[in-house]
Chains A and B, each alone.
Chain A
């Protein structure tokens, strides 16, 4: 059974960089069938897509955060990461890592449990 687990600081100061890691178990991040992505959800609000990465390093992301986002993959450790720079209170959210097929119409089939990141001084 595939499992994804987010990890990283739960508190980040304004203007600093948010860094999260998603560790994948029960499957290989190097599978050619899947992308690995990040989605966030501010408290009490809806879902917002951040971006995704392929095992080769190819990425795409939401234009609204693209200038601040870096997503990278470490196939040797079977994990991928998110960096979001210049954070503000608006970046406070539960951050989910997830898996989706290369064929976008198949949707996001596996999600991590999510980790709350609060931006505050």
Chain B
């Protein structure tokens, strides 16, 4: 079955850039999506099709995907960006697959 691997945690200072990675076999051939989830809330789509933002998602959020790694980048990180972030991709044998999640801490 297909697997996506994320670092358990990432820390960033306010105003700095945070990068969250997601690794999977030939992930660059897929179109991973990214979600954030705050405690007690449902996930929210923040990135799709590698680097497309849904309406309402700030331009500070950007994405890239190449080889085996996709990256969600948050520039000028704010305290409100603190959340769990999940990558997700479609695989023909496993259907939707989620990464294990990364807890972003804004120190």
Q: Which A residues are within 8 Å of any B CB, using their own CB?
A: 37, 39, 46-49, 51-52, 60-64, 96, 104-109, 111-114
Q: Bound state CA distance, A51 and B94, in angstroms?
A: 10
Contact A46 B98 (CB under 8 A): yes
Which of B31-89 touch A at CB < 8 Å? 31, 33, 35, 37, 42-45, 47-49, 54, 86, 88
Q: How far is the CA of A107 from the CA of B32 in the complex (A)?
A: 8
Contacts of A49 in B (CB 8 A): 88, 95-98
Q: Which 9 A-B pairs have the closest CB atoms?
A: A105-B31, A107-B33, A49-B96, A104-B90, A111-B42, A107-B48, A46-B101, A47-B98, A105-B49
A106, B49: Cβ atoms closer than 8 Å: yes
Contacts of A111 in B (CB 8 A): 42-44
B residues within 8 Å of A by Cβ?
A: 1, 30-31, 33, 35, 37, 42-45, 47-49, 54, 86, 88, 90, 93-101
State whether B94 touches A62 (Cβ < 8 A): yes
Once the chains are docked, how many angstroms separate the CA of A70 from the CA of B33? 26
Q: Is the CB of A64 within 8 A of B1?
A: yes
- Determine if A47 and B86 form an interchain contact, defined as CB atoms under 8 angstroms apart: yes
Q: Which of B1, B30, B45, B100 has the most CB of A within 10 A?
A: B45
In the complex, the chain A residue whose C-beta lies closest to that of B33 is A107
Q: Complex formed: what's the CA distance from A104 to B88 in Å? A: 10
In the complex, A107→B46 CA distance in Å? 9
Cβ–Cβ contact B54 & A109, under 8 A: yes
For residue B36, give the distance in angstroms from its CB to the closest CB of chain A.
Answer: 12
Q: Tell me if A106 and B95 are in contact (CB < 8 A).
A: no
- Would you list 26 pairs from A and B whose C-beta atoms are within 8 A, ordered by A residue? A37-B96, A39-B96, A46-B100, A47-B35, A47-B86, A48-B98, A49-B95, A49-B96, A49-B97, A52-B95, A60-B95, A62-B94, A63-B1, A63-B94, A63-B95, A64-B1, A104-B96, A105-B31, A105-B33, A106-B49, A107-B48, A108-B35, A108-B43, A111-B42, A111-B44, A113-B42
